[in-house]
């Protein structure tokens, strides 16, 4: 097709494009490589296979919170794959006249039709996104509109220039049409126009070069645009960590000079890959309860500003020149951003490329607390109470078992061979509503014939709130004391009434066992084998197997609120619903946001102990959903959620809507 001189020119275009594409990629690779270590290289074959499955089947974008948008993205994704293949063919065709990757095979016929189909679908997808971004203009799409405009223009020009080439190529040689229905139809129009063969041939050459230059110009631009997520986002899926939100990595308090994330130098290579993988789709922002309630936090902007900082300071970052870098707070993150996150995990759940927002926010909190002693003033009393009395209220630890009066419960000190430890938690020990839940749960365990005991005055806070508020030293101190205490007894199962305690004991304590002095190898092995259950799943199993006998109620409009640390973080959605179904004679009415999309009550991330002074109250937004459901009663499985929902209903003057824990409704129906 091309003259020798044109082939030399094409080779130069290829070399220039490769240089323009790879040079910025290499700079970004150096930024990532300069990050702190993070072992994400285990089970690489499994990781790669899982990522490939999500990418090829577009599981990352076809999520039900933006299903139609995801479908449009699928059009563009598969269109890109098809056009990338055709670009290879188009380029080789310049060197070898009449070249076709698939020869005369049936696959080649199908491919020619697929190019036309996906060309049309790409145009539909681009039109949809252009209308959304520039006319509808949702807040989630507020960033880099210029970049988006260039990408949309490039996609349109790439597609139209190909159709221009295809039409004249088929007009010049009808056999080249194969099953390309659009190119064939356009070729007929050209044939009927009376253009000479020479003119048609000239158009073929012009269209070929136009398409090549647009394609390779776009390729050269990709590393400078958010379209880079096609590569970095795919890589990010390979190195994902499914439990990144529920199990934070422990800090090395003995050997570290820096605690948490103080400067960009402290970001791991995976943190940096996260920042460079962002699609800027804004799904995380749409799902964030802090953002929805008018607070200064946007998970999207947390990551967006990280990327901007990495690129703006890349010389110092690549050189690991810590002294030349400013503190992340306030240069990258504001105080308002890092202290309004509930760590509910909604942002991470909806992210198509599985960016890990929570560790970055908690890491910034750790730096502020442990290195600067800079945190909301109300947390002074909270931290002091945990340090002195082992609970957030500061009530004397000797009163931890006062709630058991008249129940005939035994402590592990009195019954050291108990099979089950009932971990009551701070709310169950000191909060009035929590004590009611604990009493009902103890009653249910007794009725089910469970051999259990409590720790009583020996129990201390699990440390969840301290950890998520950034006080890692206090968390590890509490955890070490609890683990050393656990080693003194022989229980095989722990039951909790609090999802936060459940998550901490199950997912975070095991990582600390090697840091607790005095534990033998046998102790560590036994403690790792202990089963941790939330009371909702245990009670559901009791009901299913008939260990508890209860009366079923008549039709009663009940709704269920999924606690974030029980549902989204740990996947326990069905046991509470099954139990409610048995008790109320039907499945609960679902709230507008339910199951993995449940809306946070506002107490997570330690915010139960801070003043919610910015924006609306998160619990009010969730309470509005309860009221809109028309339910007469809302059931939950977390004492903190119960408090927040009850307060929200009281503020809304809807005390007629009852709030109870799953254990309370079951205890009330015992035979």
Q: Which of 458, 455, 439 is closest to 447 using CA atoms?
A: 439
Class (C level, CATH) for 264-372:
mainly alpha
Mean pLDDT is lowest, of 7-16, 174-183, 421-430, for 174-183
489-544 pLDDT, tens digit each: 999 999 999 999 999 999 999 999 999 998 999 999 999 999 999 999 999 999 98
What pLDDT sits at residue 214?
96
As a whole number of angstroms, the distance between CA 256 and CA 277 comes to: 29
121-178 pLDDT, tens digit each: 999 999 999 999 999 999 999 999 999 999 999 999 999 999 999 999 999 989 888 9
364: part of which helix (H) or strand (E)?
helix 357-372
Q: Which two tokens stand for residue 497?
A: 């009434």
In this model, does residue 70 exceed pLDDT 90? no
Above pLDDT 70, what percent of the chain? 99
For domain 538-667, give the CATH number. Answer: 3.40.50
SS3 138: coil
Q: How confident is the model at residue 554 (pLDDT cuts 50, 70, 90)?
A: low
Q: How confident is the model at residue 98 (pLDDT cuts 50, 70, 90)?
A: confident
As a whole number of angstroms, the distance between CA 425 and CA 169 comes to: 74
627-644 pLDDT, tens digit each: 999 999 999 999 999 999
What pLDDT sits at residue 555?
56
What pLDDT sits at residue 194?
85
Q: Which two tokens stand for residue 658?
A: 């009852």
The order of strands in the sheet holding 531-534 is: 452-453, 420-423, 493-496, 531-534
**CB burial class (10 A; 0-12, 13-18, 19+) of residue 540?**
buried
Q: What average pLDDT does range 40-63 have in this prediction?
A: 90
Domain boundaries, the chain: 4-238, 264-372, 389-504+518-530, 538-667
As a whole number of angstroms, the distance between CA 8 and CA 286 comes to: 50
pTM of the predicted structure, to 2 decimals: 0.93
Contact 366, 470 (CB under 8 A): yes
Q: How confident is the model at residue 477 (pLDDT cuts 50, 70, 90)?
A: very high
Q: Which of 345, 360, 248, 359 is closest to 307 using CA atoms?
A: 360
**CB burial class (10 A; 0-12, 13-18, 19+) of residue 89?**
middle
Q: Half-sphere exposure of 299 toward its Cβ, with a 13 Å CA cutoff?
A: 33
- Give the 3-state secondary structure of 554-590: CCCCEEECCCCCCCCCCCCCHHHHHHHHHHHCCCCEC
Question: Comparing 4-238 with 264-372, is the CATH topology the same?
Answer: no
Instruction: Mark 343-373 as b/e (b = at least 16 C-beta within 10 Å).
Output: bbbbbbbbbbbbbbbbbbbbbbbbbbbbeee
DSSP codes, 230-297? HHHHHHHHHT--TTTTTSPPPP-TTT-SS-S--SGGGSBHHHHHHHHH-----HHHHH-HHHHTT-S-
In this model, does residue 671 exceed pLDDT 90? no
- Mean of the per-residue pLDDT values of the chain: 94
Q: What is the DSSP letter of 407?
A: S
Class (C level, CATH) for 389-504+518-530:
alpha beta
What pLDDT sits at residue 389?
94
Q: What average pLDDT does range 187-207 have in this prediction?
A: 91
438-452 pLDDT, tens digit each: 999 999 999 999 999
Question: What's the distance, CA 568 to chain centroid?
Answer: 10
Topology of domain 4-238 in CATH is Fumarate Reductase Cytochrome B subunit (1.20.950)
Which residues pair with residue 659 across a beta bridge?
A: 634
Q: What average pLDDT does range 256-272 have in this prediction?
A: 96
């Amino acid at each position: 097709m091309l003259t020798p001189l044109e082939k030399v020119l094409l080779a130069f275009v290829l070399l220039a494009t490769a240089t323009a594409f790879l040079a910025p990629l290499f700079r970004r690779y150096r930024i990532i490589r300069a990050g702190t270590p993070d072992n994400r290289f285990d089970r690489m074959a499994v990781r790669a296979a899982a990522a490939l499955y999500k990418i090829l089947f577009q599981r990352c974008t076809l999520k039900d919170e933006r299903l139609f948008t995801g479908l449009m993205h699928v059009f563009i994704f598969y269109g890109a794959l098809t056009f990338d293949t055709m670009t290879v063919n188009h380029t080789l065709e310049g060197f070898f006249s009449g070249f076709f990757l698939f020869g005369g095979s049936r696959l080649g016929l199908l491919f020619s039709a697929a190019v036309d189909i996906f060309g049309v679908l790409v145009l539909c997808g681009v039109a949809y996104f252009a209308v959304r971004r520039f006319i509808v203009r949702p807040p989630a799409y507020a960033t880099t509109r210029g970049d988006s405009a260039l990408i949309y223009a490039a996609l349109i020009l790439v597609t139209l220039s190909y159709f221009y080439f295809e039409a004249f190529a088929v007009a010049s040689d009808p056999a080249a049409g194969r099953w390309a229905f659009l190119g064939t139809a356009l070729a007929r129009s050209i044939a009927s126009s009376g253009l000479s063969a020479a003119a048609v041939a000239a158009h073929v050459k012009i269209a070929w070069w136009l398409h090549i230059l647009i394609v390779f110009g776009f390729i050269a631009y990709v590393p400078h645009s958010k379209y880079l997520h096609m590569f970095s986002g795919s890589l990010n899926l390979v190195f994902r960590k499914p439990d990144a939100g529920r199990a934070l990595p422990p800090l090395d308090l003995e050997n570290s000079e820096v605690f948490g994330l103080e400067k960009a130098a402290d970001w791991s290579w995976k943190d940096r890959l996260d920042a460079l993988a962002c699609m800027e789709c804004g799904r995380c922002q749409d799902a964030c309860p802090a953002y929805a309630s008018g607070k200064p936090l946007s998970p999207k902007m947390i990551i967006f500003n990280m990327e901007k900082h990495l690129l703006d300071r890349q010389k110092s970052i690549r050189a690991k020149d810590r002294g030349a870098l400013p503190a992340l707070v306030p240069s990258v993150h504001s105080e308002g951003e890092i202290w309004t996150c509930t760590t509910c995990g909604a942002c991470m759940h909806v992210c198509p490329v599985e960016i890990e927002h929570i560790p970055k926010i908690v890491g910034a909190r750790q730096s502020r607390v442990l290195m600067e002693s800079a945190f909301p003033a109300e947390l002074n009393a909270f931290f002091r109470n945990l340090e002195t009395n082992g609970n957030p209220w500061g009530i004397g630890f000797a009163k931890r078992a006062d709630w058991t009066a008249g129940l005939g419960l035994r402590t592990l000190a009195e019954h050291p061979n108990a099979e089950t430890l009932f971990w009551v938690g701070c709310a169950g020990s000191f909060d009035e509503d929590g004590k009611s839940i604990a009493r009902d749960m103890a009653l249910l365990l007794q009725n089910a014939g469970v051999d259990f005991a409590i720790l009583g005055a020996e129990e201390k806070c699990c440390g969840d709130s301290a950890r998520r508020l950034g006080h890692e030293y206090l968390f590890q101190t509490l955890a070490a004391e609890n683990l050393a205490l656990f080693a003194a007894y022989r229980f095989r199962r722990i039951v909790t009434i609090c999802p936060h305690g459940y998550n901490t004991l199950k997912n975070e304590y095991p990582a600390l066992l090697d840091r607790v002095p005095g534990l033998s190898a046998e102790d560590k092995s036994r403690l790792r084998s202990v089963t941790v259950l939330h009371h909702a799943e245990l009670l559901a199993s009791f009901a299913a197997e008939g260990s508890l006998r209860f009366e079923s109620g008549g039709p009663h409009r009940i709704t269920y609120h999924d606690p974030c640390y029980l549902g989204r973080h740990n996947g326990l959605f069905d046991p509470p619903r099954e139990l409610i179904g048995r008790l109320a004679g039907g499945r609960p009415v679902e709230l507008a946001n339910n199951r993995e999309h449940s809306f946070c009550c506002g107490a997570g991330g330690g915010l139960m102990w801070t003043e919610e002074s910015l924006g609306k109250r998160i619990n009010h937004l969730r309470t509005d959903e309860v009221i809109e459901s028309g339910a007469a009663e809302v059931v939950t499985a977390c004492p903190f959620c119960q408090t927040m929902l009850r307060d929200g209903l009281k503020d809304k003057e809807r005390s007629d809507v009852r709030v109870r824990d799953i254990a309370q409704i079951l205890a009330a129906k015992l035979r």
